Structure 1
Amino acid sequence: MWQAQCMPSLDDWRRPKPTPRQRRIDLVIGLVVVATALLYVMLARSVGQIIWGVERSAFEHLAFSFAVTFPLIWRRSHPDVVLIVTAVVFIAGQVREAQEIQFASGAIFAAIYSAGAWSSDHGRSRWLRFGVIGAMFGWLAITWLISFDGIPSDAFADGTGELPPLLSALISQVLLNMAVFGFAFFFGEIAWQSARREAVLVDQAEQLRQARTVAEEQAVVTERLRIARELHDVVAHHVSVMGIQAAAARRAMDRNAGTARDSLTAVEESARTAVDELQRMLGALRTADEPVTAPSPGLDRVEELLDRVRDAGLTPQFAVFGEVKDLPASTSQTAYRVVQEAVTNALKHAGASTIDVRIRYLARELEIDVADDGRGAARTTGGMGLVGMRERVGLLGGTVEAANRNGDSGGFRVRSRLPLAIPAQRVAS
């Protein structure tokens, strides 16, 4: 049987690789970004906006712009590698003072975000992003230290603020980088957690679907068992009575027409009763809008059952002991079916002449005791009837004993005990 599996912990979950469609989208977007970055470099050079104030060749400017944006094509399929390559190219371009800043900053932002959102090993990616961000701030500090002595004395002549210009410039650079890298890191974490929550929901939906399938299969099996028990109880009993009555009618046909007529009448009544109960069962299998017209028989109809047994040539004895109590319908119906099955067994297999049925209302239990004087040993192994009987009684938390009677009289005894208060966790059939 299927069993629900627990979701892995946050550190154990691995985000699946991008789909082919997502990789195609990344390819298109990446190529568009590369083309736009190269165009931007050409435009900047054409209007005299020389990057870093240092003249580099067009090839070098275009090469660094291409190298820092082109890896974004694989930002979701290989996010950690893309982050490392982009960071190295970014710093190398700044070392050479040939890196275009706008698109390069966007590229490093996208790389940090993608590593957080798409890395298969989130713990490793987290440390990798911390390392890259630390390297960026380290390079920022080195840049300031290198360029500090080269800052002209009048570089901040137009400054009108209250803070020292150099300190203000340093703090503004740190804050700007913290904002860029912080948002890239934060949004990557959010995207990864969102993907995992979606995976959890998908997994839970699959668990619910499988649980529902198992429940439906169990319900079908339970219903099939219930129908099998009902069919056995109805058909086996009435057909057994009909068979005995028909045999009696055949034997009496030539000797006593009146006896034969009575036997055939009993056969007719048994057949009609069997048909009525079969119709009731078929009605229960129809749609919920079609109500069942007749209730299942209960203990109040045991005497009717024994009257039919008497007509079949078996002498019944019936007694009720204890204070009669109102019983739940399920308990009353189950008790009736126990008596019916025991009587059917006596008719079919025992060759008995008498059957003794006793109902005892005990303090907490209802006891059904059915004994005959037939061939007990032939039925000690039981059959489908006894299996169905045990299933019925077991659903109510009761017990069944079926065995040969003690003593010289022989015969077979079925004794069942049903609790008068049905345990809440059990559901009656």
Structure 2
Amino acid sequence: MLPRVSTETADEWRQPAESTDAWRRAESSDEWRRPGPTPEQRRLDLFAGLAATALALLSLTLARSTGAFLLGPPPSGVEQLFWTVAVPLPLIWRRRFPVAATLAVSAAFIGSQVRAVPEWQLSTWALFIAIYTLGAWGRDRRLSRRLRIGVIVAMFTWMGIALSINYRTLTTEDFADAVGPVPPVLAAIVTGVLVNALYFGFAYFFGETAWVAARREHQLAEQAERLRRSQAEVREHAVVGERVRIARELHDVVAHHVSVMGVQAAACRRVFDKDPAKARTALVSIEETARQAVDELRRMLGVLRARDGDAENTRQPAGIDRIAALVDRAGEAGLRATLGVYGDPQPLPESVSQAAYRVVQEAVTNVLKHATGASLLDVRIRYLAQEMEVEVSDDGRASRSANADGLGLIGMRERVATHGGELEVGPRTGGGWRVRVRFPLPAGSPA
């Protein structure tokens, strides 16, 4: 039994497969960290924070001018300025340090409310922007969620405390104009809860939406980069594959014909003086072999240079019907060459026919180059029930293990693997060397 040679191609390319678990971890919402703001975004935050602070001071001036102190008697003017600036000013660092900015704005907002600072319009918007920014730019998703929920709970707690304090100071005269079916105090509480729920709900929702949009944009950018790298690898693989194909064709064409010419030239040299007629025959054979080699090279170069539309006009490569010519040239080189065809010949795909021819060509070349003392070459083609088998054997000394990983054997492996075939190479019982290859027949072939 001949040792089976793996039909895995020597240059087979496999794209590295990403682990499913790693992919899921990369896609996890809590694993991704949004990159920090760019220098341009930091400058925008600086200008926006300063602008919000200036507007807050303007709002304070207008509120003091109207004298409408809705939260109660205000503190001193200096303290009013302090709290008015303390609420919006941390927005300067809102995207760079979203956690610290949110905590600072929230604490200053509650402080201004406790101290009854008359400016509350811009402070309310500053708190909204701080909660939104923490949701959109928070690095740690769990921490940002907990902090936002904690801030919202703290704000509702403060609202409850403020309502309980103000409830004690309310009198029936404050609701003298109430005409609705709902009790006035209950209506005020429900209104405050609904308004604040919408306020904080939108801040939380918009922040989460912005973060999700940023994460999807990041994923799309990563996918585009992976696609670009994959396309580059595919192009590189295609170039390498084409180079290997060209090298294989050159080896098959040049090695065979040069080997035959070398053997015939050696025979011509030996009989040149003793038998000029045989020497002349060998020279003629060398000339024909050289012409065939040039024709093969021209055909191959024509295929390489031809465009897709011109590919049909190039000469068809040699197929299984040209094996007889190989055997005849081996006989002219001094071997006792025989060819046997067994079974009913069936039409084969052009690629399979060419692969079978190239395998026989390489095997015959190896016999001429490496088979020491070989005098017999036997080529057999068998059409079996579901496969076609080609076998090349000789009676030379089996001393070719050093060439087992040569370019010729690699080329045979690649050709056979391309068509799902099976290759066996090794010494045979009784001496000599054997190359056997099996190609599966196309579906629907007669048994």
* TM-score w.r.t. length of structure 1: 0.91
Q: What letter matches 2:168 in structure 1?
A: D
1:332 and 2:332 equivalent? no
The residue aligned with 1:64 is 83
Counterparts of 1:298 and 1:285 in 2: how far apart (Å)?
Answer: 18
Check the 8 A contact 1:2/1:214 in 2, yes or no: no
The residue aligned with 2:308 is 288
Is the deviation greater in 392-401 or in 51-60? Answer: 51-60
1:357 and 2:379 equivalent? yes
The structure 2 residue matched to 1:169, chosen from 161, 173, 188, is: 188
- SS at 1:368 equivalent: strand
Q: What letter matches 1:298 in structure 2?
A: G
Counterparts of 1:378 and 1:32 in 2: how far apart (Å)?
Answer: 86
The structure 2 residue matched to 1:247, chosen from 266, 278, 284, is: 266
Check the 8 A contact 1:51/1:98 in 2, yes or no: no
Structure 1 residues 339 and 400, CA, compared in 2 at 3 Å: closer, same or farther? same
Greater relative CO, 1 or 2 (CA 8 Å, sep 6+): 2
1:265 and 2:284 equivalent? yes
1:145 and 2:167 equivalent? no
The residue aligned with 1:415 is 436
User: Which whole-Å deviations, capped at 9, do the CAs of 1:20-65 have from their partners, x for residues lacking one?
Assistant: 2211211111111111211221233234444635243222222111
- SS at 1:291 equivalent: helix
User: Which whole-Å deviations, capped at 9, do the CAs of 1:347-371 have from their partners, x for residues lacking one?
Assistant: 1122422211011111222221111
Shift of 1:257: 4.1
The structure 2 residue matched to 1:180, chosen from 190, 194, 199, is: 199
- SS at 1:163 equivalent: coil
- SS at 2:341 equivalent: strand
The structure 1 residue matched to 2:216, chosen from 197, 200, 211, is: 197
The residue aligned with 2:11 is none
User: Which whole-Å deviations, capped at 9, do the CAs of 1:302-325 have from their partners, x for residues lacking one?
Assistant: 112222222222221001111222
Check the 8 A contact 1:238/1:271 in 2, yes or no: yes
The residue aligned with 1:298 is 319
Is the deviation greater in 247-256 or in 291-300? Answer: 247-256
Q: What letter matches 2:411 in structure 1?
A: G
The structure 2 residue matched to 1:21, chosen from 13, 36, 40, is: 40
- SS at 2:175 equivalent: coil
Query: What pairs with 1:51-200 in structure 2 (closer than 5 Å)?
Result: 52-200=71-219
Structure 2 gap ranges (5+): 1-14
Is the deviation greater in 84-93 or in 219-228? Answer: 219-228
Check the 8 A contact 2:98/2:130 in 1, yes or no: yes
Structure 1 gap ranges (5+): 423-429
Counterparts of 1:380 and 1:347 in 2: how far apart (Å)?
Answer: 16
How many residues of Structure 1 are paired with residues of Structure 2 in the alignment? Answer: 420
Q: What letter matches 1:300 in structure 2?
A: D
The residue aligned with 1:43 is 62
The residue aligned with 2:427 is 404
Counterparts of 1:372 and 1:214 in 2: how far apart (Å)?
Answer: 43
Check the 8 A contact 2:63/2:119 in 1, yes or no: no
Check the 8 A contact 2:323/2:360 in 1, yes or no: yes
Shift of 1:255: 4.2
Counterparts of 1:166 and 1:401 in 2: how far apart (Å)?
Answer: 96
Shift of 1:217: 3.0
Check the 8 A contact 1:380/1:404 in 2, yes or no: no
Check the 8 A contact 1:2/1:210 in 2, yes or no: no
Counterparts of 1:302 and 1:98 in 2: how far apart (Å)?
Answer: 102
1:394 and 2:417 equivalent? yes
Is the deviation greater in 285-294 or in 273-282? Answer: 285-294
The residue aligned with 1:277 is 296
- SS at 1:318 equivalent: strand
Q: What letter matches 2:223 in structure 1?
A: Q
Query: What pairs with 1:367-386 in structure 2 (closer than 5 Å)?
Result: 367-378=389-400, 381-382=403-404, 383-386=406-409
Shift of 1:253: 3.9
User: Which whole-Å deviations, capped at 9, do the CAs of 1:66-105 have from their partners, x for residues lacking one?
Assistant: 1000011111111122111111111111111115110010
Is the deviation greater in 270-279 or in 114-123? Answer: 270-279
User: Which whole-Å deviations, capped at 9, do the CAs of 1:367-410 have from their partners, x for residues lacking one?
Assistant: 21111122322456423212221222122222222222322xx3
RMSD of aligned Cα (Å): 2.1
The residue aligned with 1:427 is none
1:224 and 2:255 equivalent? no
